[in-house]
Amino acid sequence: MRGKTKFIPAPKPTHFKVTEEVELMTFLLSKMGGMSRNSVKSLLAHRQVMVNTTIITLYNYKLKPNDLVVVNSSRGNIELTHPKLRIIFEDADLIIVEKKEGLLTVSTGDNDETTAFSILRNHVKKSSPNNRIYSVHRLDRETSGVLMFAKSREVQLALQEHWHNVVTRRVYVALVEGKMEKEQDTIVTWLSENEKSLKIHSSDSDNGGQQAVTHYRCVKSNDNFSLLEIELETGRKNQIRVHMERIGHPIVGDKKYGAGSSPIDRLGLHARVLAFYHPITLEIVSFETPVPRNFLSIFH
């Protein structure tokens, strides 16, 4: 006589109540019975951890007393998989992504071209047709890196209207032509746009344009190229590209602004770090992405 088939119920989610301020990684390591850091990172990457009903993937997310942390046994069922866009962080108010080069942030016309905005709009609608996203800032099509979107019009406006006070750090890496004469420097010019060519022009004196301030530090260099870490004090259109041309070290692949080479078959500009005051919690949050490998391969 055959034995009866046993149906094993799916493991129930594990719930933890937070009693003190602590980073999510530290909290999970203390609660998950000897689990390694890599195992905890895997839980986060597979969207198995929720804080107060929101999936959290950021290991240094700040927990507060009375937060409820839920660890699910199965992977999160709504996960964005797109070759040009990766979600770094998502909560009830924001989505932070890493955009690859070649993808527009938002549409520039009436065409149906896929953009970061359209990919995310379709993503959030999978959870509910009423969900929306709103563009907060932009990266050029050929620039990769950290990009932020809001989930409500109110959050979008709060971020845009107070952008210079909200954002505490914007760090880029740029692969530029030539060996730098100075290890570090600050570039200050005034920028204005030519309405016909749509090219930004730079002036050393105030010509009625917008003042632009760029700080740079040389990280690596050889006889032909330099890798710079660039911190923006102002965020003008094409600011880094214009300033690099201005000092005689255009960004590789940037024909519009003086480049004569394209050794990595893309624009050598990547938005690596974005730190800002969260519009709801008012805490500083920081998001980082790695330097693209082909930027570094030039120096091997």
Q: Do 36 and 71 share a structural domain?
A: yes
Are residues 243 and 160 located together in one domain of the fold? no
Which residue in 272, 283, 279, 295 sits closest to 95, CA to CA? 279
287 lies in some domain: no
| Nearest one of 131, 132, 105 to 116, comparing CA atoms | 105
Q: Of the residues 124, 145, 165, which one is the last residue of a structural domain?
A: 165
Q: How many domains does the chain have?
A: 2
In this structure, the answer to whether residues 29 and 57 fall within a common structural domain is yes
Active site residues: 140
- Domain span including residue 158: 14-165
Q: Are residues 141 and 19 in the same domain?
A: yes
- The number of residues making up the chain comes to 300
From CA 70, how far away is CA 52, in angstroms rounded?
A: 8
- Give the span between the Cα atoms of 241 and 251, in whole angstroms: 6
In a domain, 59, yes or no: yes
pLDDT of residue 90: 81
| Count helices and strands in the chain by DSSP H and E runs | 7, 17
Same domain, 146 and 180: no
- 294 within domain boundaries: no
- Does 244 reside within a domain? yes
Q: Is 192 found in the same domain as 220?
A: yes
Please state whether beta strands 85-90 and 22-23 pair in parallel, antiparallel, or not at all (unpaired).
Answer: unpaired
Instruction: List per-residue pLDDT tens for the chain, 300 residues long.
Output: 344 434 334 456 788 999 999 999 999 999 987 888 888 988 888 778 888 877 888 888 999 999 999 887 765 545 677 899 998 888 778 999 999 999 999 998 767 889 999 999 998 888 778 889 999 999 999 999 999 999 999 999 999 999 989 999 999 999 999 999 999 999 999 999 988 888 999 999 998 899 999 999 999 999 999 999 999 998 898 999 999 999 999 999 999 999 999 999 999 999 999 999 998 888 888 999 999 999 999 998
Instruction: Examine the domain organization and report whether 146 and 30 are in the same domain.
Output: yes
The pLDDT of residue 34 is 80
pLDDT 10s digits, 120-142: 999 888 877 888 999 999 999 99
pLDDT of residue 77: 46
How far does the chain reach from its first CA to its final CA, in angstroms? 69
Closest CA to 229 of 292, 172, 293, 289: 172
Q: Domain check: are 127 and 220 in the same one?
A: no
Co-location of 143 and 195 in the same domain: no
Domain boundary, last residue among 107, 138, 165: 165
Distances (CA, A) of 101 to 90, 142, 220: 21, 5, 22
Amino acid 78: pLDDT: 59
Whether residue 292 lies inside any domain: the answer is no
Q: What is the CATH number of the domain that holds 242?
A: 3.30.2350.10
> Do residues 216 and 255 share a domain?
yes
Burial (CB < 10 A; 0-12, 13-18, 19+), residue 119, is middle
